[in-house]
Chains A and B, each alone.
Chain A
Amino acid sequence: MKRESAGDRIFQIINTVVMITICCIMLYPIIFVAGRSLMSDVERAARPLALFPEKISMLAYSFIFMRGSYVGSAYFVTISRTIAGSACSLAVTTLAAYVLSRKEYPLRNAFTVMIVFTMWFNGGMIPNFLLVQSLNLNNKFLVYILPQLVSAWNLLIMRNFFSSIPETLFESAKIDGANDLQIYARIVMPLSGAAIATIGLFYAVWQWNAWFDSLMYVSDRSLWTMQLFLREIIRNVQSIDLLDQSSSIGALPPAESVQMATIVVATLPILCLYPFLQKFFVKGVMVGSLKG
């Protein structure tokens, strides 16, 4: 075994110090947010740079979770739309990508151009609202899934990935008597695990963070998503002083603590899930890229 030289050791030390510094820089905002979400407003005001509370205060969390039963339903809606929306989007995206990746399909280029066209131009907010209204999707759970079912960008990435699968696999499957659906299910899908995980994660993160469709199309608060609900809490707390001051009664929690607690509540589930999906992300870095 080769002995480490002095230079190697110095490199290792500097490398370790630099990496620890980067870790601290990454962790600082997370600890700052979590710590200050647990501080009382008096302590926060007295110790503006403190990371950890001297005494834990759950006032901000109780403010968020005591808002009736909506937090529970909002979480349920968000989780449901993330699972159902991602699954439906993945199913349709992979099916469409498979069709568009097949060279023998005569309209693949025409459809691809039409799909790409939607990346450059879209109808805008009012036509979208009218479309959703005419489809009678307002105040329905389906409004979270159908209007954004397929992302043109994700579809193109998936199409490129499928195109890179060797043609000989398709030919041998056909010789064995497989039809297109069987090839899709038994050949293409098993070979595309990394791509599906990556695109699925794109869809899931988008679904998890989405709030604007909830704001525009859903007035029934029991169907609101968690992100919209938390956003509303932050907006309310920020503007309390300027609103209807004469009739607001009772002490209110500090805005900053509520903001911090909201960030924790909104990001914690996806943060917990991320390490398990990270390996797919690493594998999926090259998804859709062209190989020489």
Chain B
Amino acid sequence: MKNLLARLLSFLVIASILAGCSKEGGGAASPADSSSGTAAADEAANGPFIYYCRTNAGRESAPDNPQVLAYIQEQTGIQMEINAIAQDSFKEKIDLMLASNEAFDGMNLIGYADSYSELAEKKAIIPINELIEKHGPAVNGVMAPGLYSSTDKDGQIWALPRAERFPEGYVPTIREDWLEALGLSMPRTIEELEAYFDAVLANDPNGNGDSGDEIAYLPNMLLYGISNFIPYFLPVKDGNLSSTGFSNLNNLRVLRYMADDGSIRSVFTHPDFINILAKFREWYEKGYMPKDIHLLKTAQLTDIRTSGVAGSLGGWFSDGNTPIINWNEANPDKAPGYYAPIPPLENAPGRSMWPSNPTYAPQIVFMRTGKNHAAMMRYFDWICQSSQNTATVQYGIEGVHWNWSDEGKSAITLSETAVQNYLEYYSLANLWWKGLMPEVLVSSDNKAEYMRTKQMEEIRAYEMNYPFDAHIPYNYKNTDAEFLTADGATLLEEAIIKIIIGESRLEDWPAAVATYNSIEGDILSQVWTEQYNDFVS
């Protein structure tokens, strides 16, 4: 009896496992039987469109989000469900949903590691030409200048692009009040910049009686600081250089240049990259940077900036604003600190420019499993129809969060607590399209935004290096680069840091580059070059 029961139970367990394995998808639509690729199915679908993005500085939890959502839904007649995933788990969650055929309509590519071309290759997203044609006339009109950035070589549009408000931000800054105190003018050459660094170390510009606590140059992480100087040091024909900020070499693949022979290569393999290392090694030896700069974490860097001892910052132009504002408030008896953007340095061996992000980049993709694509596209179309609508999704409800400041409806003023209560959450994308976003008149009481606006006005006068190949949809799937690990990048990162802090010789750099090339550099270069030429031709 006992054995019989045990066998019966075993049989039931095995039968359950087999039944479970053979059961299809738990009710979720498979890509094959999803009709979501057609606008007709979208039109018939009911319910909200479902959209996923990663969290962004607490915007997703702003107290007025429900109020603004209700207002937008009333204005548009379109229902939506917006889900923000913690950014460090965003890719994991999205991949899980893709693997399980979870139905959702769209997502924001920012924070997701794969490009649209890789998602298209996986058949996770759909081309949106037809959707734009049927439901997005205003989208087509407004976004036309940037659509190229998400269009493949066959003319299929795979994503709505974003227009960045201010891509030109990788500009080092300098304490303007210290310049005045030291009797110096804004540096125009690297020699003048070094003269400022020397003066900072030799004097006591923060006036606390300790001439030894000042730091001449404090990059926001060592590698991030290096990124500012890539265009300056690298002579690249026709400016075919991609250089943005990077905090580690995991995103090394976005830093490329076109060599004289037409091949696309990593900027770290450029023969003149060693000159950047030599300069940073010299700066480190002279004590311009803290001895533990390669070990400092974000919070520690913020603390150093807040203590008002840094004479110049590297990285993104506004990184030092909040700390210096706090320092100013704690030291009302001293001249207020201000980090002014340094103009591009003249007499550059490369280009007298700072690096920049691309102006347009693919941002919003429409998922194959979605059931309400038309509603989602109509929502973006509504946003693009007027500055009023754009201001609504960006800043909230007119009369509550903001007001028009002029008859021509080209500028708005924000109410005092507007930004704390609502900001951008339902804009879903960066919408800084020309003529669409009204200008925001910033009060000097809003110190951070006022400072940022002042810096941006100064930077706008500078010439910047824009990435030359940001619109190429490089795709590593089914190429020799598909299964590359980041071993080569790790090796380069280690070599860069060791050379700068003096643990390795400068002469060791070519060997590190050669090893990198043998591990992955040559393979990546081949893939980039082939795909670039294929796309351009």
Q: Is B446 an interface residue (CB 8 A)?
A: yes
Write the A127-146 contact mask toward B (1 if CB under 8 angstroms, else 0): 00111011000000000000
B195 at the interface (CB under 8 A from A): no
With an 8 Å Cβ cutoff, the count of chain A residues facing the other chain is 53
Given known A-B contacts A41-B326, A45-B304, A236-B55, A245 and B13 have beta carbons under 8 A apart: no
Compute how far the CA of A256 lies from the CA of B305 in the bound complex, rounded to whole angstroms. Answer: 14
Q: Are B5 and A107 in contact (CB under 8 A)?
A: yes
Q: List 14 A-B contacts (CB under 8 A).
A: A41-B302, A46-B307, A107-B6, A134-B26, A235-B87, A236-B87, A243-B56, A243-B87, A247-B165, A249-B449, A250-B420, A250-B448, A251-B448, A255-B298
| B57 with A219: CB separation less than 8 A | no
Is B1 a contact of A45 with CB atoms below 8 Å? Answer: no
Residues of chain A contacted by B1 (CB below 8 angstroms): 106
Taking a contact as CB atoms closer than 8 A, the residue among A238, A245, A251, A256 that contacts B169 in the complex is A245
The answer for the CA separation of A241 and B100 in the assembled complex, in Å, is 34
Decide yes or no whether A242 CB sits under 8 A from chain B: yes
For chain B, residues 97 to 126, give those with C-beta under 8 angstroms from any C-beta of chain A. Answer: 99-100, 102, 110
A126, A130, A215, A250: the one within 8 Å of B86 (CB): A215
A33 to B169: give the CA distance in the assembly, Å: 35
**5 tightest Cβ-Cβ pairs between the two chains A and B:** A134-B26, A246-B166, A219-B83, A68-B63, A45-B306
In chain B between 393 and 415, which residues have their CB closer than 8 angstroms to a CB of chain A? Answer: none
A245 to B57, CA, bound (A): 10
Taking CB atoms, residues of chain B closer than 8 Å to A40 are 326, 330
- What range describes how many residues of B lie at the interface? 35 or more
For A219, list chain B residues within 8 Å (CB).
Answer: 52, 81, 83, 85
Q: Which residues of A contact B26 (CB under 8 A)?
A: 130-131, 133-134
Interface assignment of B325: CB less than 8 Å from any CB of chain A? yes
Please measure, in the bound complex, the distance between the C-alpha atom of A244 and the C-alpha atom of B5, giving whole angstroms.
Answer: 63
Q: Quick one: which of B6, B13, B86, B449 has the most chain A CB within 10 A?
A: B86
Segment touching A, from B88-96, B261-269, B523-531: B88-96
Asked whether B28 lies within 8 Å of A133 as measured between CB atoms, the reply is yes
Flag whether A42 is at the interface (Cβ < 8 A): yes
A46 and B327 CA atoms in complex are apart in Å by 10
Contacts of B250 in A (CB 8 A): none
Q: Across the interface, which residues of A come within 8 angstroms of B448, CB to CB?
A: 249-251
Pair A134/B57 contact, Cβ less than 8 Å: no
**B306 engages A129 (CB within 8 Å):** no
A254 within 8 A of B: yes
- Closest A residue to B81 by beta carbon equals A219
Separation in Å of the A266 CB from the closest CB of chain B? Answer: 15
Whether, in the assembled complex, A248 has its beta carbon less than 8 Å from a beta carbon of chain B, the answer is yes
Task: Give B291-329 as 1s and 0s: 1 = Cβ < 8 Å from A's Cβ atoms.
Answer: 000000011001110110000000010110011011101
Instruction: In the complex, identify which listed stretch (A6-14, A21-29, A151-159, A226-234) lies at the interface while the others stay far away.
Output: A226-234
Q: Bound state CA distance, A239 and B28, in angstroms? A: 35
Starting from the known contacts A45-B302, A239-B298, 19 additional A-B residue pairs (CB-CB under 8 Å) come to A42-B330, A45-B307, A67-B58, A67-B61, A68-B61, A68-B62, A114-B13, A126-B96, A126-B100, A129-B99, A215-B86, A231-B86, A235-B88, A241-B220, A246-B166, A249-B449, A250-B419, A250-B420, A252-B57
In the complex, what distance in Å separates the CA atom of A251 from the CA atom of B447? 8
B52, B65, B330 interface centre (most CB from chain A within 10 Å): B330
A245 / chain B contacts, CB cutoff of 8 Å: 169, 316, 318-319
Which of B56, B61, B102 has the most chain A CB atoms inside 10 A of its CB? B61
The answer to whether B5 touches A235, judged by C-beta atoms less than 8 angstroms apart, is no
Neighbouring A residues of B424 by C-beta, 8 Å: 247
Q: Which residues of B contact A114 (CB under 8 A)?
A: 13
Residues A183-204 near B (CB distance < 8 A): none
Cα separation A186 to B484 with both chains bound (whole Å): 64
Q: How far is the CB of A23 from chain B (nearest CB, A)?
A: 29
A168 within 8 A of B: no
Q: Which residue of B lies closest to A241 (CB)?
A: B319
**List of A residues within 8 angstroms of B57 by Cβ:** 236, 240, 243-244, 248, 252
| In the assembled complex, B517 has its CB within 8 A of some CB on chain A | no
A256's contact among B164, B165, B303, by CB below 8 Å, is which?
B303
Verify if A75 is at the interface (C-beta below 8 Å from B).
no
Of the candidates B318, B326, B419, which one forms a contact with A42 in the assembled complex, judged by CB atoms under 8 Å apart?
B326
* A21-52 to B contact mask, C-beta < 8 Å, 1/0: 00000000000000000001110111010000
Give CA–CA (A67, B59) in the complex, Å: 9
CA distance A134 to B13 in the complex (A): 19
User: Is A125's CB within 8 Å of the partner chain B?
Assistant: yes
Q: Is the beta-carbon distance between B247 and A236 smaller than 8 angstroms?
A: no
> Given the complex, which residues of A lie within 8 Å of B169, measured CB to CB?
245-246
**Counting CB contacts under 8 A, is A20 at the interface?**
no
CB distance from B422 to the nearest CB of A (A): 10
Residues of B within 8 Å of A254, CB to CB, are 299, 302-303, 306
For residue B111, which residue of chain A has the nearest CB? Answer: A243
B242-257 interface mask toward A, CB cutoff 8 Å, 1 = contact, 0 = none? 0000010000000000
- Across the interface, name the chain A residue whose C-beta is closest to B447: A251
Given contacts A68-B62, A228-B86, contact A42 B93 (CB under 8 A): no
Given contacts A45-B304, A69-B63, A254-B302, contact A216 B322 (CB under 8 A): no
A61 on interface, CB distance cutoff 8 Å: no
Answer yes or no: B42 CB below 8 A from chain A CBs.
Answer: no
**In the complex with contacts A41-B302, A246-B165, A134-B55 CB distance below 8 A:** no
Pick the contact of B306 from A42, A133, A231 — CB < 8 Å?
A42
Residue B27 at the A interface, CB < 8 A? yes
List CB contacts (< 8 Å) of B144-194 with chain A. 164-167, 169
Tell whether, in the assembled complex, residue B61 and residue A256 are in contact, meaning their CB atoms are under 8 Å apart.
no
Evaluate contact between A246 and B303: CB separation under 8 angstroms: no
Which of B13, B96, B318 has the most C-beta atoms of chain A within 10 angstroms of its own C-beta? B96
Across the interface, which residues of A come within 8 angstroms of B89, CB to CB? 215
| Interface presence of A221 (CB below 8 A) | yes
Residues of B within 8 A of A129 (CB): 96, 99-100
Residues on the A chain within 8 Å of B96, using CB: 125-126, 129, 216
In the complex where A241-B220, A246-B169, A251-B326 touch, is A133 in contact with B303 (Cβ < 8 A)?
Answer: no
Nearest CB in chain A to that of B64: its residue: A68
Instruction: Answer yes or no: B495 CB below 8 A from chain A CBs.
Output: no
Q: Is B430 an interface residue (CB 8 A)?
A: yes
In whole angstroms, how far apart are the Cα atoms of A252 and B319 in the complex? 11
Q: Are B63 and A241 in contact (CB under 8 A)?
A: no
Residues of A within 8 Å of B165, CB to CB, are 246-247
Residues of B within 8 A of A133 (CB): 26-28, 100, 102
Checking A41, A229, A238 against B298 with a beta-carbon cut-off of 8 angstroms, the contacting residue is A238
Alpha-carbon separation in the docked complex, A69 to B330 (Å) = 32
Chain B residues whose C-beta falls within 8 Å of the C-beta of A48 in the assembled complex: 303
Contacts A45-B307, A130-B26, A231-B86 hold; do A70 and B61 have CB atoms under 8 A apart? yes
- Indicate if the CB atoms of B299 and A110 lie closer than 8 Å: no
B452: chain A residues within 8 A (beta carbon): 249
Does any Cβ of A come within 8 Å of B60's Cβ? yes
A3 CA to B528 CA, complexed, in Å: 87
Among B10, B306, B316, max chain A CB count under 10 A is at B306
Residues of B within 8 A of A256 (CB): 299, 302-303
Q: Which residues of A contact B167 (CB under 8 A)?
A: 246
Contact with A along B1-45 (1 / 0, CB 8 A): 110011001100100000000010111100000000000000000
